[in-house]
């Protein structure tokens, strides 16, 4: 029996669902996280450079390389466990080291990534973070350590995953240039649950930073968008002035519309990415199933107060750009309608003038026809008179003969001209 033929991508797509497993971690441990992004055209970057940079780090520890074209890697490098992931715009490195330094958030822990290796990076740091994972002590001890490690004013802390851990951060960059996260894990949490929490914290920080790039772009665009809005409003006001010809407004409107479309096209990807990253941040916070720790603000509260206003600014700017584009389209349609109406009036006046000229031409034609009848009749009478001059020998004078033939000849000429004109019509 011939087996059914598989789609060529069946196994690859099924394995993709399991290609990025959560890390496994056990308290106490130190997590060092790094996200790198090219400053421009990150989506179209040469992803081979990302792999080459990873391979350089692996070579320093004698670790095996990933497969060509790989988008993720996990393995041991020295005393550290490394996880590398390649995303649409950026790459992330997560290094987990067993045990913690005596000094909380010791900058030396970040030396898992050598300085010369960091300097040779094919991109720039979007964010970096250090996560201190320890066993959960008494709540009073947790409160004291959080007060010592973080800024109380911006501290976000919550019990997560059915009170199996406490995670905290103030989302501030420390003097060493890193974000700080503290994770106090209950003994019953287990290695896999601890790894999932670590992964969620790193993802929250990464996608928060990536989505804030949209806010930075909007702040740069704000003055120019305001100028375009003002210019478009002035053009629409000028359109109501009948003394201003549409031909003078059309080039300005086309220039404004073109610039609006250019701005929208350049920001379309960033707006879409910001919305996607925001959804991931909110989803990652939601799956943590937060519970308040002694009435402190949770991660969701912090994001609602500090993060969501920036995202709303991005969304409102996106809507404003779309509204301006729609206004420009409507203004163009109104201006086009006005031009069409004026052209219709000009065409009507031209047709009226043509009708008047045609009427004058017809009258002139009739006049010419009358003169033609007179001229033809004159020559015809002369010819007929010459033909009939022999009758003068019978005693008829030439004057009487000419007078006698004039009327019939004129009638015949008039009739002939009339018939010719009818045939031509």
pLDDT at 401: 65
> Would you state the structure tokens that stand for residue 216, as one six-digit string?
């930075």
What pLDDT shows up at residue 373?
65
Domain boundaries, the chain: 20-190, 211-348, 367-424
Report the alpha-carbon angle 106-72-105, nearest 5. Answer: 10
The predicted pLDDT at position 396 comes to: 66
- Give the global pTM: 0.78
CA distances from 181 to 44, 132, 167, 347 (A): 32, 6, 7, 75
State the distance between the two ends of the chain, measured CA to CA, in whole angstroms.
88
pLDDT, residue 110, reads 93
Nearest to 211 by CA among 277, 146, 165, 271: 277
Helices (H) and strands (E) counted in the chain, each on its own, are 9, 9
Q: Are the C-beta atoms of 260 and 328 separated by less than 8 Å? A: yes
Q: How far is CA 93 from CA 28, 54, 56, 72, in A?
A: 20, 9, 13, 10
What pLDDT shows up at residue 275? 94
pLDDT beneath 70: ranges in the chain? 1-2, 19-20, 242, 245-246, 365-374, 378-379, 381, 384-389, 391-399, 401, 405, 413, 415, 417, 421, 423-425
| 56, 117 Cβ separation under 8 angstroms | yes
Q: How far apart are CA 149 and CA 160, in angstroms?
A: 20
């Amino acid at each position: 029996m011939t087996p059914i033929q598989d789609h060529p991508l069946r196994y690859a797509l099924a394995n993709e669902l399991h290609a990025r497993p959560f890390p496994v971690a056990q308290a106490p441990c130190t997590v060092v996280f790094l996200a790198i992004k090219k400053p421009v055209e990150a989506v179209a970057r040469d992803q081979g450079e990302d792999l080459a940079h990873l391979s350089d780090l692996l070579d320093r520890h004698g670790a095996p390389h990933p497969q060509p074209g790989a988008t993720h890697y996990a393995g041991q490098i020295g005393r550290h466990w490394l996880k590398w992931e390649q995303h649409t715009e950026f790459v992330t490195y997560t290094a987990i080291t067993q045990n913690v330094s005596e000094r909380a958030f010791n900058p030396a822990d970040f030396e898992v990534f050598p300085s010369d290796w960091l300097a040779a990076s094919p991109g720039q740091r979007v964010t970096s973070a250090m996560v201190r994972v320890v066993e959960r002590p008494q709540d009073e001890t947790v409160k004291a350590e959080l007060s010592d490690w973080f800024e109380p004013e911006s501290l976000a802390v919550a019990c997560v995953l059915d009170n199996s851990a406490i995670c905290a951060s103030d989302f501030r960059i420390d003097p060493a240039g890193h974000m700080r996260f503290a994770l106090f894990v209950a003994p019953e949490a287990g290695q896999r649950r601890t790894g999932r929490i670590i992964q969620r914290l790193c993802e929250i920080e990464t996608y928060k930073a990536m989505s804030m790039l949209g806010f930075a772009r909007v702040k740069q665009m704000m003055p120019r968008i305001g100028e375009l809005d003002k210019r478009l409003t002035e053009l629409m006001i000028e359109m109501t002035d009948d003394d201003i010809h549409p031909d003078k407004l059309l080039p300005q409107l086309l220039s404004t519309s073109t610039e609006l479309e250019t701005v929208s096209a350049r920001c379309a990807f960033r707006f879409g990415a910001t919305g996607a990253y925001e959804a991931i941040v909110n989803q990652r916070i939601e799956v943590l199933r937060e519970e308040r720790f002694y009435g402190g603000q949770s991660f969701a509260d912090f994001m609602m107060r500090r993060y969501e206003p920036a995202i709303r600014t991005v969304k409102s700017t996106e809507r404003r750009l779309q509204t301006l584009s729609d206004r420009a389209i409507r203004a163009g349609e109104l201006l086009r309608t006005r031009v069409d109406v004026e052209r219709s009036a000009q065409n009507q006046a031209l047709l009226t003038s043509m009708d008047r000229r045609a009427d004058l031409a017809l009258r002139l034609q009739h006049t010419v026809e009358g003169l033609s009848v007179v001229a033809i009749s004159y020559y015809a009478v002369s010819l007929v008179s010459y033909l009939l001059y022999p009758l003068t020998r019978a005693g008829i004078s030439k004057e009487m003969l000419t007078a006698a033939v004039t009327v019939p000849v004129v009638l015949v000429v008039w009739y002939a001209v009339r018939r010719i004109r009818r045939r031509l019509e």
